[in-house]
């Protein structure tokens, strides 16, 4: 018998990503986001949900572009910081000692020190409620050479992405390998 926890946004895992945008004056900004996920394969798209009150929301409406920056475990303090303060008051890049790089494909900055970044152009804006769901077409994915695995793709054990647990508000690492997809279930 399962226990009812009510209508709430509790699910596991959620990501701890950092969204990069420019404001109207060209100042780069960062914001932590856990409400997001891939939402289409062709064209490749990722969705990110934001409250209208955020600085990043205004930047996105203005610039129609953003980056999704995947931090490593060792950036967890900065990731948390980016979710606490607002870009209206603070230059978050400078405060965290990180370097903004202008994307060569979209009008948004990414974090040089983070191992994996997605560069996205907004192609849909869906009003849901408190949050607006921005669908970004992924125009390029960029990764540090140091995190690439043998197949040429980023290796999760090298990227060391961060997992966020809603409500209990904790960050966790990715753990052990469990198996190969489209393979281990063939002999069910």
Question: Residue 51 or 88: which CB sits closer to a second copy?
Answer: 51
* 139 contacts: CB under 8 Å, gap ≥ 6: 105, 106, 119, 120, 121
- 146: tokens are 């140091």
- In the bound complex, what is the minimum distance in angstroms from residue 33's beta carbon to a second copy? 10
DSSP one-letter code for 98? -
Asked if residue 9 lies in contact with residue 2, where contact means CB atoms within 8 angstroms, the answer is: no
DSSP one-letter code for 148? B
Question: Residue 26 or 37: which CB sits closer to a second copy?
Answer: 37
Question: Residue 59 or 120: which CB sits closer to a second copy?
Answer: 120
- In the bound complex, what is the minimum distance in angstroms from residue 111's beta carbon to a second copy? 10
DSSP secondary structure letters along 85-128: S-TTT--HHHHHT--EEE-SSSS-EEETTSSEEEEEEEEEEEE-
Question: Residue 4 or 24: which CB sits closer to a second copy?
Answer: 4
Query: Looking up tokens 């290796």, which residue turns up?
Result: 155
- In the bound complex, what is the minimum distance in angstroms from residue 108's beta carbon to a second copy? 14
- In the bound complex, what is the minimum distance in angstroms from residue 167's beta carbon to a second copy? 5
- In the bound complex, what is the minimum distance in angstroms from residue 99's beta carbon to a second copy? 12
Question: Residue 24 or 176: which CB sits closer to a second copy?
Answer: 176
- In the bound complex, what is the minimum distance in angstroms from residue 95's beta carbon to a second copy? 6
CA-to-CA dists, residue 14 to 10, 74, 149, 161, 181, angstroms: 9, 18, 24, 11, 20
The two most distant CA atoms of the chain are separated, in Å, by 57
Question: Residue 24 or 182: which CB sits closer to a second copy?
Answer: 182
């Amino acid at each position: 018998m399962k226990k009812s926890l009510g209508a709430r946004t509790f699910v596991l895992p959620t990501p701890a990503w950092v969204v990069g945008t420019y404001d109207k004056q060209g100042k780069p900004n960062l914001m932590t986001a856990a409400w997001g996920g891939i939402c289409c394969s062709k064209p490749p798209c990722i969705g990110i949900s934001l409250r209208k009150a955020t600085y990043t929301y205004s930047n996105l409406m203005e610039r129609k572009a953003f980056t999704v920056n995947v931090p490593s475990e060792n950036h967890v303090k900065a990731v948390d910081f980016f979710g606490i303060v607002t870009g209206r008051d603070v230059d978050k890049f400078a405060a965290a000692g990180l370097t903004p790089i202008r994307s060569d494909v979209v009008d948004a900055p990414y974090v040089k020190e983070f191992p994996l970044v997605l560069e996205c152009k907004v192609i849909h804006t869906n009003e849901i409620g408190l949050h607006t769901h921005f669908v970004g077409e992924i125009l390029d994915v960029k990764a540090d050479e140091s995190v690439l695995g043998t197949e040429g793709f980023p290796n999760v054990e090298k990227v060391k992405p961060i997992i966020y647990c809603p409500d209990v508000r904790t960050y966790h690492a990715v753990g052990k390998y469990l198996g190969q997809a489209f393979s281990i279930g063939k002999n069910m």
